[in-house]
Amino acid sequence: MNNERVLIVEDEKIIAIDLQRRLERFGYSVVGMAGEGKEAVALALELEPDIILMDIMLAGGMDGVEAAKTIKASKDIPFIFLTAYTDEKTLERAKEVQPYGYILKPFKERELYTTIDIALYKHEMASKLTRQERLFSAILQSINDGIIAVDMDLNVQFMNQIAEDITGAKEFAVQGKNISTFLNLTEPSSNKDVLSNIVGVGEHTTFFHDVTLMNSEGQPLVLDGSITRIHEQANSTDGYLITLRDITELRRLSESLNYQSSHDSLTGLSNREEF
C-alpha cells in the first residue's frame, strides 16, 4: 500500500464517512469528500487525487456521470462508480466515460479494496503505455524518412509528416483506408507495384530502390525504401511498416554530374573520356 490519495463523491454524508473509515483502514488517504457534481469537479481539479470513488446519483444539477466526464476532459484521473443503479440506460451512460470499475451497493470491503487496487494498477499501466506511444510518435515524426504503418489488411494505422509530404495524402484522411488507394510504387524494370507482394515479406526487411511514385501534382518521384513485418507474437504478423525516402533530387544531380563528366560543356558533344 502506497497511501494513495482518494476523493469520495457521495451525497449521503453518513455513507461517505463510513466509506472514509473503510478506506483509511486499508491504508488509503481520503483527501476530500463532495456531495454535489460541481463540487466534485472543483475538488478533483484542485486536489488531483490518485483515484475518485463516484456515486452516480448526486445532489444538485450534475450527476456523477456528468461530473466524471467534466473531470476527464481536464485531468487523467481514474474513477470508480459506486451506485445502486443497474438499469440499462445508466450503464450505457457510465460506459461512455470509461470508468475503471463499477461497484453495486451494498458492497463488501474486500470487493472495494480489490477494485481500487486493480483500477490503480490498470491506470498506471495505461499511463506508461501512453508515454511510450508519445515517445515513439515523436521519434517517428523526427526522422527524415517517410513512415507508414498498416495492418494485415493493409489499412493505414499511422503516417508521419514526411510520408504525408511524399505521398501528398494526409493521415487523418487515409487512416483506416487501404494503402493502395493513394500509394502505388512502380518498379521501373517490371512496371509492378512493390506493395502488391507485401504479404510475401519474410522475417527480414525487404528493401526496394529507384521505384517511381506519381505525387499529388502529377510529377514522378524516385524513391528508395523498405518493408518490414510487425510481429505481434513469435509466429504471427500484426501488420507492416513501410519506409520511404525521396531521392528524386539526388538522382537528378547524379545524372547531371555524369553528363557533365562525359560531354563537352561548350558543344555538348561526347568528350575524350566518353570516347
Instruction: Report pLDDT for 234.
Output: 59
Instruction: Report pLDDT for 226.
Output: 92
Q: Residue 259 pLDDT > 70, yes or no?
A: no
DSSP 31: E
Q: Residue 270 pLDDT > 70, yes or no?
A: no
Q: How many Cβ atoms from other residues are within 10 Å of residue 244's Cβ?
A: 25
* pTM of the complete model: 0.62
Instruction: Report pLDDT for 131.
Output: 87
Handedness of CA 122, 124, 125, 130 (dihedral sign): positive
Instruction: Report pLDDT for 140.
Output: 76
Instruction: Report pLDDT for 130.
Output: 86
Q: Residue 260 pLDDT > 60, yes or no?
A: no
Cis amide linkage into residue 49, ω under 30° from 0: no
For residues 143-166, average pLDDT: 91
Mean pLDDT (the chain) is 85
Q: CA-CA distances (angstroms) from residue 103 to 3, 114, 117?
A: 22, 11, 13
Q: Residue 274 pLDDT > 60, yes or no?
A: no
C-alpha–C-alpha distance, residues 80 and 100, integer Å: 6
Instruction: Report pLDDT for 271.
Output: 56
Which residues, in sequence order, are CB contacts of 146 under 8 Å at separation 6+? 159, 160, 162, 163, 164, 165, 166, 167, 225, 243, 244, 245, 246
Furthest-apart CA atoms within the chain: distance in Å:
102
Percentage of the chain lying above the pLDDT 90 cut: 44
* Burial letters 143-171, b for 16+ CB under 10 A, else e: eebbbbbbeeebebbbbbebbbebbebeb
Residue 236 pLDDT grade (very low, low, confident, very high; cuts 50, 70, 90): low
C-alpha cell at position 189: 524494370
More confident residue, 202 or 177: 177
Instruction: Report pLDDT for 219.
Output: 81
Residue 116 pLDDT grade (very low, low, confident, very high; cuts 50, 70, 90): very high
What is the tens place of the pLDDT at every residue in 72-107? 999 999 999 988 877 888 888 888 889 999 998 888
Q: Residue 255 pLDDT > 90, yes or no?
A: no
Instruction: Report pLDDT for 159.
Output: 92
Instruction: Report pLDDT for 261.
Output: 58
Residue 194 pLDDT grade (very low, low, confident, very high; cuts 50, 70, 90): confident
What is the tens place of the pLDDT at every residue in 209-221? 889 998 777 788 9
Instruction: Report pLDDT for 7.
Output: 95
Instruction: Report pLDDT for 243.
Output: 94
For residues 151-169, average pLDDT: 91
For residues 35-51, average pLDDT: 94
Instruction: Report pLDDT for 49.
Output: 95
Please name which of 129, 131, 171, 130 lies closest in space to residue 147, comparing C-alpha atoms: 171
Q: How many Cβ atoms from other residues are within 10 Å of residue 185's Cβ?
A: 20
Instruction: Report pLDDT for 135.
Output: 81
C-alpha cell at position 39: 463540487
